[in-house]
Amino acid sequence: MILVLKMKDIIDEKDSRLKQTSKEVTFPLTKADKEMIEKMIQFLKNSQIPEIAEKYELRPGMGLSAVQVGILKRYFVVVNDISDDEDGEPEFETYVLINPRMISNSQEKIYVGEGEGCLSVNRPVCGIVPRYARVTFEGYDLEGRKIQIRAREELAICFQHELDHLNGILFTDHIDPKNPYKDKDSMRSI
């Protein structure tokens, strides 16, 4: 197996590019953007297969935005492991969203009980990140066709996390440093 992206290719939170707003993408996509999207998808799949992740020292990830690989363009990929059998081949749902925007959300808020993580944040972070339990995103696919995706729970959190990256926001920016568990009782843990 040839690794197309490695952990060293993911920029760290100290990199100022992660605080910048990414630029809209024009269509047709460049060959370089299409290739990078494929590399990002493969990286996320590899990171979720324990044997490969361990062998190549990959931290598991579910989403990756272009800015995390140093490209200030508005696209992200999400790869969700939907395998229901540990003995079988891994099965993934893959989402590519270009020029995404959240067009609706639930009133209910949730947070990741063990704490949200990020491939660009290489340290433990305590605190809760309030997220909407259900969201609808609109954007474009690889061919420039408008698409709409409804997501809930973990997938909704991931979409919101990746959209934040495109807007120069890290999940750590949502945590109140004086009260990291603020409003915990008004949200549901997942």
- The answer to pTM > 0.85 is yes
Tell me: pLDDT of 58 over 70. Answer: yes
The arithmetic mean of pLDDT across residues 97-106, rounded, is: 98
CATH of the domain at 93: 3.90.45.10
177: amino acid identity, one letter? P
Confidence band (pLDDT; 50, 70, 90) for 89? confident
pLDDT in tens, 108-157: 999 999 999 999 999 999 999 999 999 999 999 999 999 999 999 999 99
C-alpha distances in Å from residue 87, one per residue of 84, 90, 164: 9, 9, 35
Residue 110 lies in a domain: yes
Residue 154 among the catalytic residues = no
Residue 108: how many other CB atoms lie within 10 Å = 13
The whole-number pLDDT of residue 83 equals 83
The whole-number pLDDT of residue 86 equals 64
Report which of 114, 131, 76 is spatially closest to residue 98, judged by C-alpha positions: 76
Confidence band (pLDDT; 50, 70, 90) for 28? very high
Torsion of CA 122, 182, 109, 138, to 10 degrees: -50
The whole-number pLDDT of residue 31 equals 96
Q: Which of 38, 86, 108, 162 is catalytic?
A: 162
Q: How many domains does the chain have?
A: 1
Residue 1 lies in a domain: no
Residue 2 lies in a domain: no
What is the chain's mean pLDDT, rounded?
95
Residue 122 lies in a domain: yes
Residue 51 lies in a domain: yes
Residue 62 lies in a domain: yes
Whole-angstrom Cα distance, residue 61 to residue 52? 13
Residue 116 lies in a domain: yes
Range of the domain at 142: 7-189
